[in-house]
Chain A
Amino acid sequence: MSAKRNGVATVILTSFLVVANLIVANLWMTQVKLRWDLTEDKRFEIASGTENIVKRLRDTVNIKCYVSGNFPKQLSHCPRILIEKLDEYGRLNEESEGAVVYTFADPDTDPEAKQECEDMGIGPGRIQELEGSTTMKTKISWFALVFRYGDRKVVYNFFSDMPGETLKDPARFGSDLEFVLSRAIRNVSSPRKTVGLLSEVQMVPSNPSNPRSKRVKYQGLSNLEAVIARTHDVKTLDLAQVNRGEPIPSGMDIVVLWRPKSLTEVGKYVIDQFLMGGGNLLCMVDSGDVSFTPKPKFTQYGRARVQDYDLPDYKVEGIDHGLDDMLAYYGVRVEHAFVQDFSCYDMIYYTGKDFVRNMFGQVQVKPNEDYAPYFSWPVIPARDDEGGLEDSHQLGDSFSILSPNDDLVLTWASPVTVLEDNLTRHEAIADVILRTGPRSWVKPIKETRFPVNPAEQAGPGKAAMASQPVAVLVRGRFQSFFRGKEMPKPTGTAGKPLPTKDELEKSRRDVASVRGALLVVGDADFCSDQFITPNMRGALVQIEMGRARRKGSAGGMNREALIGRLRTPLFFVSNCVDVLAYGEEAEDLFQLQHRTFRSRRIKALEKDDPLKDRIQLVNMVYLPGAVILLGLLVAAFRHLRCRREIAVAPTHDRRVAQ
């Protein structure tokens, strides 16, 4: 009896010891940071782009993390992931002359830290949290980083900066953290550039007689300005003033010349001298003004079939922007033609009206819409169909200037030709950084009609189609377009006094002081608010929403797709500015950006696509069905074998078996 009791006690004690040991071992293991990243692009390891950014540091980057100790539950994992990531950055310090060091402060308990936050304009986030099981309470939490490098400072508040990318999906918090940190380190360690947005766009009241009416932002560049302002200081410049002879303010590193319509000689001189002074120029040119001519043909009852009426038409009037000769002198030419591409975006058009009853039984008129491929809106894919980034769209064969996931839609883009003979004068090299697909061709603007009806958009034969360059980067030591020419005289005296001709002549340069860069894009309006404004008025937004309605997809997905589409033109232009600002150093961040935001896609499948049905059938019917069939076969086989054994067995055995 005693031996049995001893045995039981031994079993219980051993079990207890084993359990205790394993718990202790697991707790101890939390200190071990050993992991293997199996992903193809090693997205959970520090990227080589980050390594390069840290290696280039010449001084210490101090990161102060303002994090509430009592963090909301749904985000409680975020500070832990942040610490792990910052530790990984710290490990790169050995390879760098500089270093990345970090400290933590809790503004909830440390009044000094709270005061620092308030001084720097860092606000807390307000997160709804469940208290008990029924009541919600708002928790005020701090989560911000301040990067200091020398006397420079970059503030990143997770709750307010780019919330769509960082805290939108807390479960994926770590996925873009490296991009956020590396970008901030790059920005704080590189001098912040000043970008001038030079355009004729002005925010005018929608009703001039009523200055109180809302300002029209519809055709402006507010989205573009906001995106560039994330990394650079942006100043808005008035092209009308430049056209009269006002010089570009000193200290401007990059000028984005957006959609000039009639540049004067003196305006060209001002831009030319900006280049000669070592500035970089992003020139976005539209070669035509497009106007819409709808052709509705409603039948007697307001409803018509598609074939009953014409599709809308676009009339184009050429723009004489006045840049042709100057750009040609620098080695590029924006053709007075539009690229047509079979790989294109759909144009929305209205086919009549439907009378429908709403949920309250009231009759409502609903516009009936349809879509047709519009060859004048080429789509430049981020990736080709075979997979992988398409080489032709990459800059320097190493990074893509496009958004990593979403295709870029250009609207009435003109081809940009490289004039090799003119490049030699500037010891310049030219890189085509953006091309349309191989099934594109060129249609001169003088044809004036660019209809939506695919039957009227006849293209040439396959042999005449070729990929068209739409953006070219020229880097060299430019010589002045006005070299040996008489300087144009400033015109107009309205507003503030303009410099005299003599004053301009004094500062005149015929050869650029340093090597500069000129990036010419044969399209401008694709990044304007008119096309991408998220307030549901932009053309591309309307089309996306219409498509989503037609497909009947889930709301969340549509919104994501929409935001992706909206971001693409801005990504592209912002990356163009970065290329001009940081040169080849921009590559590191682009590589990181691609790794962070790129996700693998599936082919676009229609609602009743047979491939979709086949996949569902294989996985949900054939495979489980095969298991059941196998089970039945085994059962039948066993039953037969059993019967056969009974049949051959002696009679008394058979009785027993039965």
Chain B
Amino acid sequence: MSRILCIWKKELVSYFTSATGYAFLFLFLLLTSFLFFVLPSVDLKSGFRGNFFLQGEATLTDYFATFPVALGLFVPILCIRLWPEEYKTGTVEVLMTLPVRASDVVIGKFLAMVTIVATALGLSLVVPWTVGWVAVDGLDSGPIIGGYVGALLLGGAYCAVAMFATAFTKEQVTGLLVALVICFFLTFAGTAAVDLVTPDWLSERLKFIGFSVRFSSIEKGVLDFRDLFFFLSFTAMFAFLNVSVLEYRRLK
């Protein structure tokens, strides 16, 4: 455990002593707020529905709807320095010679990333607080709790996927592109827009793995065990695969 904590601390310090951590927080907060407060939300059926002020409803559904896109975009960027940089500078060799297991390294790095995502989500709590200023009957806490629980699980899943995707290459740009493609595929799989152009046999399967589809039911305020299990198992699976990649590289 102490080894995991050591790696977690080292990664966290390196994020916040460079611009990466701050840039992630800044971009995440700016993009999600901009999409929610300024840009009109789009619905395939009813078209433009207006932004938060024009819709006039004291709900954060549209705010949470921006999370899959924002996290799918920024988490891979956060990830590019995890493995490619270690490979490039050779520090991964040093790391592997230390008395730590590959799983400790992966979990430590994963927890550091999840901590940054959690920090971003924590800072974004300002949004429900400010929306509460104009809500006539106050806000329903259920969907907000659900939204943040779901966002944390979603963030964790993205972190695991992006870590796994970048673990294959030494090139940062290649790693970033691979991670972005996978994250965007998972973000938009099964959504209404994609569903329209998907063959019938594939449609239900994509909905099964689509992050946005899974997240949308949690953000309504319903914690469905199936969705929670999906996100947790997905995260565990990719973390395990990441460990396998490291083991494979070490053995190779």
Contact = CB atoms under 8 A, between A and B. Distances in A.
A614 B53 CA distance: 13
Contacts of B210: none
A94 interface: no
A305 B192 CA distance: 51
B173 interface: no
Is chain B's interface secondary structure helix, strand, loop, or mixed overall? helix
A387 B138 contact: yes
B248 to A, nearest CB: 5
Contacts of B204: 76
Nearest to A612: B53
A18 B55 CA distance: 46
Is chain A's interface secondary structure helix, strand, loop, or mixed overall? helix
Nearest to B149: A38
A623 B17 contact: no
B57 interface: yes
Interface stretch (A23-31, A111-119, A252-260, A391-399): A23-31
Interface of B: 16-17, 19, 21-22, 25-26, 29-30, 33-34, 37-38, 40, 43-50, 52-59, 123, 126-127, 130-131, 133-143, 145-146, 192, 195-198, 200, 203-204, 208, 220-226, 229-230, 233-234, 236-237, 240-241, 244, 247-248, 251-252
A619 B134 contact: no
Of A73, A612, A630, most B-chain CB atoms within 10 Å: A73
A204 interface: no
23 contacts: A4-B251, A8-B248, A11-B247, A11-B248, A37-B142, A38-B223, A41-B140, A44-B222, A74-B195, A76-B203, A553-B50, A600-B138, A601-B57, A602-B58, A602-B135, A603-B134, A603-B135, A619-B126, A619-B127, A620-B38, A624-B25, A627-B29, A630-B22
Contacts of A604: 56
A22 B231 CA distance: 11
Contacts of B208: 26
The 10 closest A-B pairs by CB, nearest first: A38-B142, A631-B22, A39-B142, A387-B137, A600-B58, A34-B225, A619-B33, A554-B50, A39-B221, A15-B244
Interface stretch (A165-173, A292-300, A444-452): A165-173
Nearest to A76: B203
Counting contact residues on chain A (CB < 8 A from B), the size range is: 35 or more
Contact of B137 (A22, A601, A612): A601
B133 A611 contact: yes
A130 interface: yes
Contacts of A627: 22, 25-26, 29, 123
Contact of B22 (A44, A388, A557, A628): A628
Given A74-B196, A630-B22, 5 more contacts: A14-B244, A169-B45, A170-B192, A553-B54, A557-B50
A649 B173 CA distance: 39
B146 A38 contact: yes
A133 interface: yes
A628 B23 CA distance: 8
